[in-house]
Amino acid sequence: MSLFSVLRAQGQEAAQAAGDHGSESSGMPMDELSDFASHHIGDSKEIELFGAHWSLEGLSVDPIALSLPFDLGPIMIDLSPTRHVVVMVLVALLMLATFIPLAGTLRRRGKEKAPSGRANAAEAMIVYFRDEVVRANIGHGADAFTPFILTIFFFVLGMNLIGLTPLGITPTANISVTAALAVISFVVIEVAGFRALGPAGYARTIFFLPPGLPVLMKPPMLVILTVVEFLGKFAKPFALAIRLMANMTAGHTLILLLMGAIFVLQSVPVGIGAVAAASALMILELFVAFLQAYIFALLTSVFIGLIRHAH
């Protein structure tokens, strides 16, 4: 069933139940509406679009059927595809289909002739990220990180924007997705710092003592500052993951609750207000989709620059 079909059915069932029991309110309980919103935001093994329904149960992604759940000690591993995985693959394919031809166009034109159309827009955005985001925050040797930062930005942006389409599935509202992206950024950040500082310099980013400390203060301060620096390294990817997930979840939850109120309360004034509010929120969500992708890429650049130029 589609989103609106489910909402309409639930609204009619709630109104009928309220009438049968003589309830003063014709709406469903708030916890049921919240469960409905969380169901459409969360991950599952089904995809709904325009009334069509596709189940992903039992699909395998390899000939050995490793996609089936299996136990790895106390942990159960399930590699079967979900709708967030399907959308991530779709976004990746769209990126490849978009940027590979653009790269070929820019390569054929060379540096002497200015590109036009989509190639011109893509080049302007790439140059902006290279100069204002990557070089400005990483400094010397920053161009080597430009492809990674651009990939992070466009991949996150694609997942954010696809949630605003009728498909309505936003992988970046899933903490597992944002955590995986944050872990990738964390590995790149730490490897970049190790390569720039060397083993001894990288060790000083963890085992750090300010100069001029009395001898008796050095052992306790070394322990305290080591713990603080060690936790600080993991705080960066944690902040990246939580910020992106929370922002994308909040907007979509509010839009679903507003649209659900139309069928639950079955009131014309409520419907007009909900549609107006949801329309404004959709415009805001479009801005948030670009902003959160930009912030994720910007903070990754900032963290790479900080560790490469650590004192």
Q: Where are the beta strands (DSSP E) in the chain?
A: 46-49, 52-55, 70-72, 75-77
- What is d(CA 189, CA 303) in angstroms, rounded to the nearest whole number? 7
Q: What is the pLDDT of residue 14?
A: 45
At 30 the pLDDT is 55
Residue 61: inside a domain, yes or no? no
The confidence score (pLDDT) of residue 74 equals: 74
- Residue identified by tokens 């653009």 is 102
> Is the model's pLDDT at 49 over the cut of 80?
no
pLDDT at 271: 81
Q: How many domains does the chain have?
A: 1
pLDDT band of residue 182 (cuts 50, 70, 90) is very high
- Band the pLDDT of 52: cuts 50, 70, 90: low
> If you average pLDDT over every residue of the chain, what do you get?
78
Q: Does 68 fall in a domain?
A: no
Whether 74 maps to a domain, the answer reads no
Which pLDDT belongs to residue 27? 46
- Residue 59 counted as domain residue: no
Average pLDDT over residues 126-139: 89
- Does a structural domain hold residue 224? yes
User: In the predicted model, is pLDDT for residue 275 greater than 50?
Assistant: yes
pLDDT digits (tens, 9 = 90+) for 96-109: 998 888 887 777 76
Tokens matching residue 71: 């136990």
Pick 25 or 116 by higher pLDDT. 116
Higher pLDDT, 95 or 120: 95
**Residue 67 falls within a domain, yes or no?**
no
Q: What angle do CA 143, 205, 296 make, to 5 degrees?
A: 45
Residue-wise DSSP of 164-182: TSTT---GGGSHHHHHHHH
Within a domain: residue 181?
yes
Identify the band that residue 295 occupies on the pLDDT scale cut at 50, 70 and 90. Answer: very high
Interval 146-152 mean pLDDT:
93
- Domain extent at residue 299: 3-44+82-308
* Within-domain flag for 64: no
